[in-house]
Amino acid sequence: MYNHNRMRQFLGLALVVFVSFSTLLFSSCNNTSSSLQVVMWGQADGTVFKSSVKSVENATNQYQDEEAQKEKNVTLVNGEIEKVYYVESHKKGQEELAVYSSKNGNITCSYDRETNKLIKLSAKNNAIIVPDNVKSEVDYKAWVEGVLALYGVEDLSDYRYSCKTAVVVSNENSTYKETHAYFYSDQKANERISSLEFSYTKYIEDYPTTDRIEVSVLTSGSIIVKFDEHRFDDSVYISFDESDIHTAVESFVSSSINAGEYKYDTINITNKVLTHYDTEVCMQVYVEINMLNRGDHTPVTTMVTLLVFEK
Amino acid sequence: MKRMKKFLSLLLACMLMLNGTVLYAVGEEALPSETETAPDVALSDVVDEKYDAGDEIVEWREEGVKHYYLGDGKYQAVVQVGDMVNQAQSRSTSTTVNSSRYPLDTYLSSFYKDVCYGESDEVWVGSYYVGLFYNNRPTLPANAVIESATMHFSYYYHVSTGSMTVGAYAVEEYWDEYTVTWNEMDAYPDMGISTTASGTVTLAASSTNSETNPTRASVSITDIVRSWYSKERSNEGIALKRISGSNTSVILKSYESEDEDHYAYYTITYSTLDGNVVPKGEYYLQNAKFEKFAEIDDDASATTDGAIIEIWNFNAEADQKWNITYLYNGYYKIISTASGKALTAPTSTNASITQNVYTGTDKQLWVIKKNTDGTYKLSPKSNQSQYMAAGAGLITARGRNVEMREEQSDNRDDWEIMILYDATLVAIPAGSGHPHDASFLDVQTALGNRGYVTNRIVTEVTASGCSAYIATSKVFYSRSHGNTTAIQLNNETLTVTKINNLEANAFADCKLVVYGACLTGKGREGAINLVNATYAKGVTSVIGFELSVNCEEMNMWATAFFNAIGQGKSIEKACEAADAKITEDWDDIITTDSWYIAGSKNTVLN
């Protein structure tokens, strides 16, 4: 299984990683709660935060894997078999994927380097077409689950279904993309559906995890199927307390803001997802920060993504 | 001290009101390399100043940069960089390449004007028929000299005597093999076909010529093919039309005949220049001796045929701008932006160079050669031992005529070719391990596909400098941190307030601004955000993001976005193409799809 092998492989490395990572956490978090540590994920906004605030993220490295299988046969959603050829490999954090593509470039697949499991299938230029009779959400859900069954995903009992619809809205002087967290079928004249995303997410005690299976249908002619699963199959779950998270995040944010420019006001945690950084389980939180500009006292809002670890 | 104070005040005016435009000399080395950064204006860099009689600074320079005073406290920056484009006269030996052997072909019939013949196995050419052919053209080096291009085909008659002369013409309008009809093409002037034949050939009938034994023939298409590569016209294919003869119709083998030996195709024979060529674009020509710029004489209307060329102080006006196009025949044409007329050499030595309607005469074809000091000599094809030069004597209040002269002992016959940047990419230096400019090379390449010359800046940029770049670029893309009302530069921010304080339509010349930063489009239409503030100053389209964006994801989105722009997609379609690319990625963090466009969504950069 995806995570079993990985966890075993990195068990020995975990201690080394944790020691070095803890050093980073302690050096960048001054006033976190007693049980949790917080670190910035992604870029730290240099306008808003002190320059001393460190951030972490996983860069993607591309490389040629000489040992990769040169070609594979992949079964498409419609049951047809397509030959795909090795392109390159991607390494991001602990994940390594081998990317393959069909000769005309319409089919792209990614496979896990260790398990050879299909992680993503992308079909462009109408290489795969949703059947004409699939129109309602019920139709789509049945079709999507049929697609997943084709790739061996039949038991979705641990996963919660959701659907998102991206709609491009055009007004006289602006155009923007609006995402509805449901199957949107009530299009107005100035709206155009650009994509439908059907996802199945594993939850642990009401927290979504990064274990997700996803089928995206882009009206531009692409269908993408992703299998990001099994990371949380046998990980030891660390119980985060809601109030502790809020306290830790607020403490981190208020002490990290560039106090010469801004005065901290409130935070609003908009989303939480259980994830991993290296081998550590952590909570990824999306935080809206409300501040006041010290110069003219105007309200300023920014958003950041943080990782919350149990000490 | 007085001068320095005056300079400081002028510098401040420059930074606040800068209508400035950055010019770079052309050439591969002239464009900043991956690690090279363009110079930013900084007082400590100033190495020289020039004053007029009234003690006003009319020109000041930093290392590699000149700033010319335009009046009203405004300056224009001109940057001279390193080595230049080289066109030597030696050429490689000739090479011949073929077009694709799989043409799209059909014919138009004036008998059946609504019928499409795309699936026919014949192509008819004659008194009532026009044949159309399209092949993909092979890739040639940018410094190719096309010696000849020839179309090859096979024909036959249903008669055994007589002949017909046909001409090869350029098709100038798009046509679809499976839908095009006589009526469709007849809607265009001259049926969408050029009026002058590139070449002609007489096709004779004979007793041995037949459908099963067609005769091979060829016709010159050299002029047409050169114009495709020089981008004077797009490749919409070749038309064969009857010119004269005793026979009224001849038949060619089409692709649908499945007779591979007789499909139409063409060959190109070319050599290459020993050096680079000036990329097609709009340039300024600065005389190396007087440091003045070639322009159309103010004494004449800028559009007057025969107006002489002079050198004058830099003013960035249209009559100082010259469109240089390499014609793939070893020569350039140089066309005035103001008049659309061509730089034309005189017949006599020491006579003035003028502008005239372009006819392709040898007096309007120019050789551009590099000197050892990086300047250039320009000589007409009609007299390649003479050069474009400032006239004899000193420059006067009326300027100095530009003449055709023998090689000069000073450098009055040497010129610098300088280019206005079309696009500016600004990134704050990498911080916290974030490579903000990681997409810039890709973006530069993509914009290059639209003919844009791009300036990449990864250095300390001021807010006023940033505003100036937006004001003077057609495309501006920044990568930095940001929030709803500001983007972070290095030590300061470009804010909604600072933009609001600019004059109305300050950014009217800019077509597209992309703020690759968090939250710059938050609240979208009607909100106080950086996107709306920028749009309010006249940019055609401004893009920001409603959510916080991840650095790596932003770079990937930008690469995909500008690739789509480079392929001719509209702003909105390019946003969607970038979304699709991000969606295909295996990263879970997807926030760039929160884009917001203020202004036109249908703009296609050209």
- Say yes or no for a CB contact (<8 Å) between B594 and A43: no
Q: How confident is the model at residue A33 (pLDDT cuts 50, 70, 90)?
A: very low
Which comes out higher in pLDDT, residue A26 or B231?
Answer: B231
Q: How confident is the model at residue B67 (pLDDT cuts 50, 70, 90)?
A: low
Q: What pLDDT, on a 0 to 100 scale, did the predictor assign at position A11?
A: 34
Whether residue A62 has pLDDT greater than 50: yes
Q: How confident is the model at residue B151 (pLDDT cuts 50, 70, 90)?
A: very high
Residue A247 vs residues A252, A264, A267, A268, B303: alpha-carbon distances, Å:
8, 14, 10, 12, 73
Please indicate, yes or no, if residue B150 is contained in any of the structural domains. Answer: yes
Whether residue B387 has pLDDT greater than 90: yes
pLDDT digits (tens, 9 = 90+) for A77-133: 877 888 999 988 988 877 899 999 988 788 999 999 989 999 999 988 788 888 889
Q: At what angle do helices B440-448 and B551-566 cross, to 10 degrees?
A: 10
What is residue B434's three-state secondary structure? strand
Residues B602, A29: Cα–Cα separation, whole Å:
47
Q: What pLDDT, on a 0 to 100 scale, did the predictor assign at position B467?
A: 85
- Say yes or no for a CB contact (<8 Å) between B598 and A300: no
Please indicate, yes or no, if residue B356 is contained in any of the structural domains. Answer: yes
| Mean pLDDT score, A134-149 | 93
- Say yes or no for a CB contact (<8 Å) between B488 and A59: no
**B449, B399: one domain:** no
DSSP-H helix ranges across B460-540: 463-472, 496-500, 530-535
Q: Which residue has the tokens 């006289």?
A: A172
pLDDT digits (tens, 9 = 90+) for B154-185: 999 988 899 999 999 999 999 988 899 999 99
Residues A73, A121: Cα–Cα separation, whole Å:
12
- Say yes or no for a CB contact (<8 Å) between A47 and B483: yes
Give how far B3 is from chain A: nearest CA, Å. Answer: 35
Q: What pLDDT, on a 0 to 100 scale, did the predictor assign at position B292?
A: 87
Residues A49, A33: Cα–Cα separation, whole Å:
19
Which comes out higher in pLDDT, residue B9 or B142?
Answer: B142
Looking at B44, B61, B83, the residue that finishes a domain is B83
Contacts of A43 in chain B (CB under 8 A): 431-432, 434, 481, 550-551
**B461, B506: one domain:** yes
| Percentage of chain B lying above the pLDDT 90 cut | 45
Q: How confident is the model at residue B82 (pLDDT cuts 50, 70, 90)?
A: very low
Please answer whether residues B521 and B545 qualify as being in contact, where contact means their C-beta atoms are separated by less than 8 angstroms. yes
In this structure, what are the phi and psi dihedrals at residue B21, rounded to the nearest 5 degrees? -130, 135
Q: What is the dihedral of CA A299, A300, A304, A307, to 10 degrees?
A: -40
Tokens matching residue A16 = 């080394």
Q: Which residue has the tokens 């038949």?
A: B251
**B314, B454: one domain:** no
- Say yes or no for a CB contact (<8 Å) between B483 and A173: no
pLDDT digits (tens, 9 = 90+) for A239-277: 778 899 999 999 999 999 988 888 899 999 988 999 888
**B211, B225: one domain:** yes
In this structure, what are the phi and psi dihedrals at residue A155, rounded to the nearest 5 degrees? -100, 105
Q: What pLDDT, on a 0 to 100 scale, did the predictor assign at position B434?
A: 66
pLDDT digits (tens, 9 = 90+) for B22-44: 343 332 222 222 222 223 333 33
Q: What pLDDT, on a 0 to 100 scale, did the predictor assign at position B367?
A: 92
Q: How confident is the model at residue B305 (pLDDT cuts 50, 70, 90)?
A: very high
Please indicate, yes or no, if residue B90 is contained in any of the structural domains. Answer: no
| Mean pLDDT score, A12-18 | 35
Give how far A150 is from chain B: nearest CA, Å. Answer: 20
Looking at B255, B272, B289, the residue that finishes a domain is B272
Give me the amino acid identity at B265. Answer: Y
- Say yes or no for a CB contact (<8 Å) between A302 and B548: yes
Which comes out higher in pLDDT, residue B22 or A189?
Answer: A189
**B277, B266: one domain:** no
Which comes out higher in pLDDT, residue B50 or A24?
Answer: B50
- Output the average pLDDT for chain B: 81
What is residue B20's three-state secondary structure? coil
**B207, B337: one domain:** no
Give how far A33 is from chain B: nearest CA, Å. Answer: 25
Q: What pLDDT, on a 0 to 100 scale, did the predictor assign at position B322?
A: 92
Q: What pLDDT, on a 0 to 100 scale, did the predictor assign at position B222?
A: 96
**B397, B301: one domain:** yes
Whether residue B584 has pLDDT greater than 80: no
Whether residue A19 has pLDDT greater than 50: no
Please answer whether residues A28 and A54 qualify as being in contact, where contact means their C-beta atoms are separated by less than 8 angstroms. yes
Domain of B318 in residue numbering reads as: 273-416
Contacts of A97 in chain B (CB under 8 A): 586
Q: What pLDDT, on a 0 to 100 scale, did the predictor assign at position B521?
A: 94
Least confident stretch, B76-85, B154-163, B463-472 = B76-85
What is residue B224's three-state secondary structure? helix
Neighbours of A132 (CB within 10 A): 6
Strands B309-312 and B400-406: antiparallel
Phi-psi region of B432 (alpha: psi -120 to 50; beta: other; left: phi over 0): left
Q: How confident is the model at residue A220 (pLDDT cuts 50, 70, 90)?
A: confident
Give how far B418 is from chain A: nearest CA, Å. Answer: 37
Least confident stretch, A238-252, B405-419, B504-518, B582-596 = B582-596
Residues B371, B368: Cα–Cα separation, whole Å:
10
Please answer whether residues B68 and B257 qualify as being in contact, where contact means their C-beta atoms are separated by less than 8 angstroms. no
Residues B497, A296: Cα–Cα separation, whole Å:
11
The DSSP call for residue B319 is G
Whether residue A150 has pLDDT greater than 70: yes
Q: Mind giving me the DSSP string for A207-251?
A: EEEEEEEEEEEETTTEEEEEEE--TTSSPPPP---HHHHHHHHHH
B330: closest CA among B249, B272, B281, B395? B272
DSSP-H helix ranges across chain A: 2-28, 137-150, 242-256
Looking at B226, B255, B272, the residue that finishes a domain is B272
B269: closest CA among B308, B231, B221? B221
Q: Mind giving me the DSSP string for B543-594?
A: EEESS---HHHHHHHHHHHHHHHHTT--HHHHHHHHHHHHHHSS-S---GGG
Q: What pLDDT, on a 0 to 100 scale, did the predictor assign at position B404?
A: 96
Q: What is the dihedral of CA B141, B145, B146, B147, to 10 degrees?
A: -140
- Say yes or no for a CB contact (<8 Å) between A173 and B598: yes
**B218, B278: one domain:** no
Tokens matching residue B92 = 């490689």
Contacts of B520 in chain A (CB under 8 A): none
In this structure, what are the phi and psi dihedrals at residue B523, rounded to the nearest 5 degrees? 85, -10
Please answer whether residues B82 and B374 qualify as being in contact, where contact means their C-beta atoms are separated by less than 8 angstroms. yes
H or E stretch at B3 = helix B2-17
B377: closest CA among B420, B416, B337? B416
pLDDT digits (tens, 9 = 90+) for B433-458: 567 888 999 998 899 888 787 777 77
Q: What pLDDT, on a 0 to 100 scale, did the predictor assign at position B356?
A: 96
| Mean pLDDT score, B571-582 | 91
Please indicate, yes or no, if residue B88 is contained in any of the structural domains. Answer: no
Contacts of B598 in chain A (CB under 8 A): 173-174
How many CB pairs (< 8 A) connect A and B? 133
Q: How confident is the model at residue B365 (pLDDT cuts 50, 70, 90)?
A: very high
Q: What pLDDT, on a 0 to 100 scale, did the predictor assign at position A281?
A: 87
Whether residue B92 has pLDDT greater than 50: yes
- Say yes or no for a CB contact (<8 Å) between A302 and B594: no
Instruction: Please count the structural domains in chain B.
Output: 4
- Say yes or no for a CB contact (<8 Å) between B584 and A120: yes
**B268, B287: one domain:** no
Please answer whether residues A280 and A18 qualify as being in contact, where contact means their C-beta atoms are separated by less than 8 angstroms. yes
Q: How confident is the model at residue A1 (pLDDT cuts 50, 70, 90)?
A: very low
Q: What pLDDT, on a 0 to 100 scale, did the predictor assign at position B159?
A: 87
B52: closest CA among B120, B91, B15, B3? B3
Q: Which residue has the tokens 């994830």?
A: A275
Give me the amino acid identity at A89. Answer: S
Give how far B498 is from chain A: nearest CA, Å. Answer: 14
**B304, B407: one domain:** yes
Whether residue B599 has pLDDT greater than 50: yes
Helices (H) and strands (E) in chain B, counts: 9, 37
Q: How confident is the model at residue A311 (pLDDT cuts 50, 70, 90)?
A: confident
The DSSP call for residue B205 is -
| Mean pLDDT score, B261-268 | 88
H or E stretch at B494 = strand B493-495
Q: At what angle do helices B551-566 and B571-584 cross, to 10 degrees?
A: 130
**B255, B183: one domain:** yes
Q: What pLDDT, on a 0 to 100 scale, did the predictor assign at position B430?
A: 67
**B492, B552: one domain:** yes
Which comes out higher in pLDDT, residue B324 or B86?
Answer: B324
Helices (H) and strands (E) in chain A, counts: 3, 16
> Of the candidates A42, A212, A218, which has its C-beta nearest B550's C-beta?
A42
Q: What pLDDT, on a 0 to 100 scale, did the predictor assign at position B53?
A: 57
Contacts of B270 (CB under 8 A, 6+ apart): B94, B95, B96, B97, B140, B144, B145, B146, B147, B328
CATH number of B397's domain: 2.80.10.50
Q: What pLDDT, on a 0 to 100 scale, did the predictor assign at position B306?
A: 92
| Mean pLDDT score, B401-427 | 87
